[in-house]
Amino acid sequence: MEKQRARTGSEKEYRKEQLKKAALTLFAQKGFKNTTVEMITKKAHLSPAAFYLYFNNKIAIYRALNKDGINILEDLMKQALHTSGGSSVDKLYALARAYYNFYREHTDYFYITEILHLGNDEFFYDSTMVKELEKRTLVLLQIVASVIEEGIEKNEFRKIDPMKTAVTLWGMIDGVLILEVKKSTLFTGFMIDALIEQLMDMVLLGVKKK
């Protein structure tokens, strides 16, 4: 009985992951509006009825993927801090590269976490997703803010508001990555990683203690 229960549990988890994997691919290819539950289940080789065993609707699976994406990014950020140098400057560079690596290696999840598939009406319609996203985003920003706060305490950075600086820095990196998404960097001849390095150099000129 225990083996059968375990097998059933594993099978359910497998089906759920297959649905999420299919949805992630389809959202990336077709966008949220043009992806249907039927498309997701067909790609996952499951019946539409199976979908509703795990998710109430299409927005629910989008929300689940959003959480998965933020978890991946958080892990990358923590790994970056673990392997970075001892200075706060090194740590900030490492966090910026971690975000870029998330975009480069998990592009479909980047689109999900940035809500690039959804219009404002679709996004704000689901208040639960808004609250969850805001809560998880604050966790990521706090990681950045804690490095800035550490830099202030170690006399590497001048006295600035850590969270305000973290939000500003994250917004700037987001902006560069969105330019890349829109292919707006192609005509400049600059590589995206070089632009992020330039951005970090400029930010650190402003926050380093003179």
Q: Which domains does the chain have, with CATH numbers?
A: 1-55 (1.10.10.60), 58-207 (1.10.357.10)
pLDDT at 2 exceeding the cut of 50: no
pLDDT at 9 exceeding the cut of 80: no
User: In sequence order, what are the residues at sequence separation of 6 or more whose Cβ sits closer than 8 angstroms to the Cβ of residue 154?
Assistant: 87, 88
Cα 66 to its chain centre, rounded Å, is 7
- Tell me the pTM: 0.85
Contact criterion met (CB below 8 Å) for 108 and 27: yes
Q: What is the pLDDT of residues 127-153, one digit of tens each?
A: 666 777 788 889 999 999 999 999 999
What is the chain's percent helix, strand, coil content, to nearest 5? 80, 0, 20
Cα Rg for the chain, rounded, in angstroms?
A: 20
Q: What is the pLDDT of residues 80-114, one digit of tens each?
A: 999 987 899 999 999 999 999 999 999 999 988 88
